[in-house]
Amino acid sequence: MNVTFRQLRLLEAVARNSSFTRAAEELFLTQPAVSTQIKQLEEEVGMPLFEQIGKKIFLTQAGKEVFAFSKNIAQQFKEVETVLDDLKGVRRGSLTLTVTSTGKYFAPYLLAEFLKHHPGIDVHLEVTNREEIVAALQENLPDLAIMGTPPANVDLKSQAFMQNPLVITARPDHPLVGVGRIPLGRLAEEHFIMRELGSGTRTAAEKFFAQRGVQLNTTMEMSRNEAIKHAVMAGLGLGIVSLHTLEFELQLNRIAILSVEGFPIMKEWYLVHRDGKRMSPVVQEFHKFVLEEAGNLVVLPQPLTQPRKRAVRS
């Protein structure tokens, strides 16, 4: 049965007004146009939908059944209009955000502040590593991603929104804690616990030391910042991590930050999406919010003051 919404809307208007003429006036149509559409609807149904008794028209039994469905459909279309209006006003909608494992330390706070002003929005937050984020972006899966330096081999739009300092960490009783301006050459004597190959932190650290002719002694690789921090706290070596990851360890004096020449390495956080992606009003609003507010909302952890020792000579 080939029935159009226009025909059902006309049937609903005629039945509600008990008049073809008044229905035509309501919908800014001519009375013959309404009559023609209703006749075509009756032909599709195979039964008359109205009957005229005297000067009044009434729904037939078939007309009552179709009328009931047309009311439901009309209500659903009104609901669709409401949802679309809400989306335009950023009152409803959804946001799919993918962040690196380091970004999980601040992304929930950005979302919490955003949702205070847009409580009707549904959010899906996925935390994963850089490699999987790049794969997801290639498939155009997330609305937005938060990551370090974006890959060059994918058509992306990216904007830096906040600094990401990389620091060298040690157990608080390590001999280098409290020493001022440790030469890079001195670090060649230490054991390092690093992120896996390909991670943003590992790539940035290796590039920094290679440019200065220093070879690090990497004795362990770990795929999670938490594992690196625990290894450092256990005294297995020094670690290089984002300062964003150290809030609780610094507060509890479980980890110390070394004063090293050239550190911290100042990277940036980027908000990323596929080039040409059509962003909903919700996604556009969150994109704007992060670019404008993240720097004010996210506070970097502060290390405890360590007693100063004399500088180490290289």
- pLDDT tens, position by position, 138-174: 988 899 999 998 988 889 999 999 999 999 999 999 9
- pLDDT tens, position by position, 249-276: 999 999 999 999 999 999 999 999 999 8
Radius of gyration of the chain (CA): 32
Distances (CA, A) of 13 to 5, 27, 30, 31, 119: 12, 8, 13, 12, 37
Other CB atoms within 10 Å distance of the CB of residue 9? 17
State residue 82's pLDDT score: 58
- Strands 265-274 vs 156-170: parallel, antiparallel or unpaired: antiparallel
Q: Which of 223, 106, 98 lies closest to 163, judged by CA? A: 106
Backbone φ and ψ for 271, nearest 5 degrees, come out as -100, 120
Residue ranges in the chain modelled with pLDDT below 70? 1, 78-79, 81-83, 85-87, 304-314
Which domains does the chain show, CATH number per domain? 5-88 (1.10.10.10), 93-162+268-297 (3.40.190.10), 164-266 (3.40.190.10)
Indicate the pTM of the whole model: 0.69
